[in-house]
Amino acid sequence: MTLLITGAAGYIGSQLVQKLEKEISNEEKPWRIVATDIRDSPHYETGAHTEYHKIDVRDSALVEFVKSQKIDTVVHLATIVTPGKKSNREFEYSVDVLGTKNVLDACVEAGVKRIIVTSSGAAYGYHADNPEWLTETDPLRGNEEFAYSHHKRLVEEMMADYREKRPELEQVIFRIGTILGNNVNNQITALFEKPFVLGIRGSESPFVFIWDQDVVACLIQAISSRTTGVFNVAGDGAVTITDLGRLLEKKVLRLPAGVVKNGLFVLKRLNLTQYGEDQINFVRYRPVLDNTRLKQEFGFTPTFTSRQVFENYISKNWPSK
């Protein structure tokens, strides 16, 4: 098998490539990895079974590249998770949505057999009327005011269209909860690093967590499995904002939604934060993922519960706790 991995220099992509390289070497699998990313080079040694190429998923030359490499399976990880300060909505849309469309078109044109895509629980959206536990049959309502959530919804709608029109391209879609690991650093972990835990009055804001190595293991299983479908990826259970405060040994500061919204509005326009008032529901209404289908149909049980994932994260990042 020849495997193409987009976003191979990113947080999950780099771990996936290195884990696959080790497994190929140890188990003598006849696999070849074609790792691609927009970065000039990865921050790790690629190994004997991996070759790295600098390619933008939006590049029109991607089709010919996929054809020339005789790709069998694609793991599409390229996305904008934590936008930089100079990022903008148009750029993020071009990578997340148009980039995915370009990858899908390349797969169809090149006769790729299987594509595995990392989506997010954010595709369900951040809404007051979300069910207590979201299953894969619940509607996707990614909020337009939150770029990442909206783009994940648009990507999944596009994937559904391709499933209908191009059934020969097998699909596995993982709607992933909040990823934590030894070195993860993003807008979620930034909330945990403050001297207090910010909460919205009247909401427990439950989180579902998944350990990064479990995400990598899911991707590897999807590569070698014949199972297709859409699966929530999260540990068992959820961790409320009250739980987070206890585990972090920090006070939970519960502010009225209006106060937080107005504060973010001012700070954003003073360039003191990259997060604006549109982020309020991101904190207040967390999508809580039911992982039953992942365990029963895909056949993968996460190593850690959501609470254990967070406890592991604390032990790695605040050893004194």
Report the pLDDT averaged over residues 211-238.
97
Contact 309, 188 (CB under 8 A): no
The pLDDT tens digits for 252-280 are: 988 888 887 787 777 677 776 666 666 77
Q: Is residue 319 very low, low, confident or very high in pLDDT (cuts 50, 70, 90)?
A: low
pLDDT at 273: 64
pLDDT at 192 over 90: no
Segments in the chain forming alpha helices (H): 11-27, 62-69, 89-93, 99-110, 147-165, 187-192, 212-224, 241-248, 257-269, 280-284, 292-293, 306-317
Q: Is residue 298 very low, low, confident or very high in pLDDT (cuts 50, 70, 90)?
A: very high
pLDDT at 174 over 70: yes
Q: Please, what sign has the CA dihedral across residues 149, 150, 153, 158? A: negative
> Per mean pLDDT, which range of 124-128, 199-203, 294-298 is the poorest?
199-203
The pLDDT tens digits for 93-138 are: 999 999 999 999 999 999 999 999 999 999 999 999 999 999 999 9
Q: Which positions ≥6 away from 234 have C-beta within 8 Å?
A: 121, 176, 177, 208, 209, 210, 289, 291, 294, 302, 306
pTM: 0.94
pLDDT at 212 over 90: yes
Q: Which residues are paired to 175 by β-bridges?
A: 119, 232
Contact 72, 112 (CB under 8 A): yes
pLDDT at 187: 75
* Pair of tokens at residue 238: 């959820």
